[in-house]
Amino acid sequence: MADILDWTNADLDQLDMAAYQDKADDMAARLREETGAGRLPFLTMPYEAALKKQLAGLKGYLDGFEHMLLLGIGGSALGARALQKAFHPGQDRPGHDGKWLWIADNVDAYALSDYMDRLPPEKTVVVTVSKSGGTIETVGQYFIIKEWMKERLGDAWAGHMLLVTDEKQGFLRGEVEAYGIKALPVPDNLGGRYSVLSAVGLVPALFLGMDIDALLAGAREVADVLADPELNGETLAKTQAFRLAAWGAALMDKGFTEMIFFAYIPLWASFGDWFAQLWAESLGKKGKGSQPVPAVGVTDQHSVNQMFMDGVRNKACLFLTCPSLPAGPKFPADLPDQFAYVRGKDFGELIQAEGLGTRMALSKNGVPLVEIRVGTDGPRQAGKLIGLLGAATILTGWLMGINPLDQPAVELGKRLAKARMNADGLAEEKADLNGFLTAQRDLREF
């Protein structure tokens, strides 16, 4: 079954798509330049062959553990969680007896304490993911878990640690050299939100037994065309990634300032959280962008869908479906008459009907919608989805006139947090922080 984008309800007539489609030649030239200079490893994946060899060499090592504790935040965790939920769902169900992946992606003292109290260190590998090696939320957990491992395992502690970081520099690279800890590199120019199909996401995927080759092959179905050194505007204009980008940019021009990601593949719901970071951190700049809103079908039909359909008309939607989801058990034949319409039918038919109904209702209520319909919910299709949305996001940013690869506003919050912890330097941030706290005087009990 083919993987397709259904543009039927995209409301293209009300959008100035031509203004962006006419930029296909310019965008093709920019892709040739950026990929040729090695600045878009998300598309070119020059690291793939070496990474596959490294992962093959790690498999026996990882097979020796029952638990993986992943320390990471943002793009260092969201992709791994999406893959875990999609392809290793047993951990969330009764009677699980397979591998366990625990993701510590927040400054959560409750959770970190529980990990140290309940995980068996002799059966646990700790994977710390930070490209810079200086992300305090992640490295701070590393400091604490490192001491825990030393106390429990003695000299064997380093054999239970794996670092995914810059290949040449940073604090974690220093730890590799000082203690002989196993490590895999994060490629240069590969930002966290684009890194799921590098060691960042593929190490936990390998640990859980996923088909890594299929994930990468799916992404290449999208990326290889865009990374072709002979790419021209005519070819680019025919790609769905570019069409999505033109659609996204044209929507913002018309005041559509929210982009819903509605997932009607239950196990793929966490891809909505991954997409939210991808879209928001890439495009929310210079007063521009649209707010990504992850939603889960059927669950959110009974919560936020009222706002989607009858609230402010500023929403567009990417609607993710799969017509070949499992049939599941059948409804009994002896149901009350009021439920006669489901007698003897497969339970799985219900989500298909719910998805169709919601898609139609959104369209009827003026929500521009593109359906992303994958033929199966397998790893190749997941890799293809990652490639499609990542490429479309990059191209949307370029069409908007912003850089989709940086995140300057995020860095301010990080510097102010370090100032609050009294890190060296940061004199300006410390002065701003003191002024801000002094001004917090309108305090009321509730």
Residue 302 annotated to the active site:
yes
SS (H, E, C) 392-430: HHHHHHHHHCCCCCCCHHHHHHHHHHHHHCCCCCCHHHH
Tokens 């700049």 identify what position?
A: 285
Catalytic residue among 281, 371, 384, 429: 281
Catalytic residue among 177, 230, 302, 445: 302
Residue 33 annotated to the active site:
no
Residue 315 annotated to the active site:
no
Catalytic residue among 288, 414, 418, 430: 414
Q: State how far the alpha carbon of 328 is from the alpha carbons of 50, 59, 331, 348, 384, in Å.
A: 41, 33, 9, 5, 26
Could you tell me the sign of the dihedral formed by the alpha carbons of 80, 277, 395, 12, in that order? positive
Residues that are catalytic? 281, 302, 414
